[in-house]
Structure 1
Amino acid sequence: MAPLRSGAHGLSPVTLLCCVTLAVWLCCGAHTEASVLNLKRFIGCAVREFTFLARKPGCGGLHVTTDACWGRCETWEKPVLDPPFIESHQRVCTYNETRLETVQLPNCSADVDPSYTYPVAIRCDCGVCLTSTTECITSV
């Protein structure tokens, strides 16, 4: 078997083929990823683009697009012998790492600061619901 020779850029043909395949997937495959992924069946936690209306008294509203945590995490219960007779493991998709961004709201009254600060998700994970970062529902 003959050894593989390096191409013009010093890469073997196999390495070059892998690089070209990866480049095509990144350029073209990224546009079809959302259509391939069935979000109704997605289990996990991910950063996803989210738009909301930023408002506060004395100012006009502003539509803001940010990154937020989104997803469903696996939960389970296990029967135990002592009350309450169930050991619950309820995990939620929650913020693990964030940064803060500030925008200026329009049409604010002279006595109102137009600054509006909101979190931008950098990393999200399935975990215990922490009321310091997430609105947790404890009963229905």
Structure 2
Amino acid sequence: MSSFFVMSLLFGLIFGQTASLCAPSEYTIHVEKRECAYCLAINTTICAGFCMTRDSNGKKLLLKSALSQNVCTYKEMLYRTALIPGCPHHTIPYYSYPVAVSCKCGKCNTDYSDCVHERVRTNYCTKPQKLCNL
């Protein structure tokens, strides 16, 4: 192997990790309960962005664990709780939601992340909207 090839490979590996644009991003969640009068719009942060991945053309030659691609996922997160307005007394009016503190490129963990590629548009209100002020 030529020294140019080895240096290019090392540069690509090092630059690939720094070029990953995975970071907390502002996002609005719309929350409503059937019993409550209002829909609550909550401003939070989620992990979003680009992570370097590898093309797995040799699917038959690689182990199944080598085929999973990196995604932008939570490195550190915390939960906050909001009060949904207009709920009757017999209903629990609280909603807990995640806030991304920091993010990383890694394997998707289905315990706390939605790893589906296709996104269905369900983030909307069917009731009058209130903004969550924290």
TM-score, with length taken from structure 2:
0.62
2:28 aligns with: 51
1:133 aligns with: 112
1:20 aligns with: none
Of structures 1 and 2, the one scoring higher in RCO (CA 8 A, sep 6+) is: 2
Distance 2:69 2:23 in 1: 17
- Find the residue that maps to 2:67 and give its secondary structure: strand
Greater shift, 71-80 or 120-129, is seen at 71-80
Q: What is the aligned-residue identity percentage?
A: 34
User: Which residue identity lines up with residue 127 of structure 1 in the other structure?
Assistant: G
Distance 1:104 1:120 in 2: 16
- Find the residue that maps to 2:88 and give its secondary structure: coil
Aligned pairs for 1:6-45 within 5 A: 43-45=20-22
User: Which residue identity lines up with residue 96 of structure 1 in the other structure?
Assistant: K
Distance 1:116 1:80 in 2: 42
Q: Give the superposed CA RMSD.
A: 2.8
Distance 1:97 1:68 in 2: 11
Cα deviation for residue 137 of structure 1 reads 2.4
Residue of structure 2 aligned with 1:116, choices 92, 95, 98: 95
- Superposed structure 1 runs of 4+ greater than 2 Å apart: 80-85
1:72 aligns with 2:22: no
Distance 2:117 2:44 in 1: 27
Number of residue pairs aligned between Structure 1 and Structure 2 = 98
Asked which structure has the greater CA Rg, the reply is 1
For structure 1, the 5+ residue unaligned runs are: 1-41
For structure 2, the 5+ residue unaligned runs are: 1-18, 119-134
| CA-to-aligned-CA distance 1:74-130 (integer Å, 9 cap, x gap) | 221252664789x42401111111111011001112211111110110011110010
